[in-house]
Amino acid sequence: MLLYFLHFLLAFKLVLGASYTQSDSHTGIGFLKSFSYQAIPDPTHGRVNYVDAYTAANENLTYASGDHFVLRTDYWTVLDPNGPGRDSVRIQSNKQYTTSVMVFNIRHMPQGCGTWPAVWTVGEDWPNNGEIDVLEGVNDQGPNQATLHTSAGCTMPDWRYEKGNALLDDCNTLLNSNSGCGVKFVDTRSYGPIFNDHGGGWFASERSEAGISVWFWSRDAGTVPYEVEVGNETVDTDNWGEPSAYFPNTDCDIGAKFGPHNIVINLSLCGDWAGSAYGASGCPSTCEDYVDNNPWAFEDAYFDFQWLKIYT
C-alpha cells in the first residue's frame, strides 16, 4: 500500500504543469504561410492521393477565410479502382518544437465511413525521434485516442493521473503492429459526428521532460480554462486539471525518445487502421469500394480550424 501511495504521489507530481508564453499563432491564411504541403505516398497505405499546394488550392481542398482554415478531401469524383486514391491533403509545420504547449481550436473534424483524420507531431528519422498523436480516430468510432509511438525502451506505468483509459503500455513501433501506447478518451464529444454536433472544441498538448499530456474540452463543456478559450498570451497548465491522457517519463526518457517535432495535419482514407477496422465499424461494402464509388459520402470529411496557438 505504501509503495502504491508513493507511486501515486510521484505520478501526481510529474503531471503538474508550468507557465508558458505564446510563441506562434496561426489563424486563417496564417496556416497557409506556416505549413507546407506533403504530396507524398501515404505512409499508412490509405486510399488517398496527397496533393501539392497548387492542386489543393485549385480543387478547393484547402482554403482560408477570416478565422477559418479548412482542409478536406475531394467529394465529387468517382474513382477508377486501378487509379490513384481520392485527392486529400497532408500538411506539416515549417517550424519544429520540443518543450511546448499546443492548443488546437477546431470547429469541425472529418467524419464518415473510411475516414482517418489526425493531428499529430513527429520527429525526423521516425520512430527514433518519436511521434505524438493528439487527435486521431477512424470510421466515426470515437472517442478520440491519443498515442505515443517510439523506438524500443519507452513504456508506461499501469496507473497514471489521467481521465482516459490506457490501451497498451509499450510504445515501441515494432510491437503490436505499431499500435503504440494509446489512451482512449472518455468524453464522447471528443471525436467524429458527436464532436461536430457540439460545435467542436479544444485539444491541447503539453510536452516537457517530465511527460506528455493531452487535454480536451468540448465547445459546450462549461469547464474550459479561460486562457485556453480565448487563446491567452500566456498559459499555466497547472490550471487545467486532470488531462485526458498522460504519458509520464517514469519508464520512458522523454528527452531521449522525442526529438524536435513538426506538427502534421492530415486526412487519410482506409489504410492500415481505418481499413482494418472498417468491417467492425458498421460501414457498408468494403472500405476501398466505398471510397471509390461514393464521393458524396465525403462532403463532411473536412477540418475547420479556428486557430492554433503554440507556447514555449
Active site residues: 131, 136
> Residue 289: exposed, middle, or buried by beta-carbon count in 10 A (0-12, 13-18, 19+)?
middle
- Grid cell listed for 158: 499501469
Other beta carbons less than 10 A from residue 146's beta carbon? 31
For residues 209 and 99, give the distance between their C-alpha atoms in angstroms, rounded to a whole number: 7
40: DSSP letter: -
Which residues are CB-contacts of 132 (< 8 A; sequence separation ≥ 6)? 120, 121, 122, 146, 147, 148, 205, 207, 212, 258, 261
For residues 55 and 62, give the distance between their C-alpha atoms in angstroms, rounded to a whole number: 9
| CB distance 202 to 105 below 8 Å | yes
Nearest to 72 by CA among 83, 60, 64, 54: 60
End-to-end Cα distance, the chain = 38
What is the 3-state composition of the chain as percent helix, strand, coil, each rounded to the nearest 5? Answer: 25, 35, 40
Q: What is the DSSP string of 58-113?
A: HTTSEEEETTEEEEE---S-PPPTTS--EEE-EEEESS-BSSEEEEEEEEE---ST
* CA triple 229-194-262, angle to 5 deg: 55
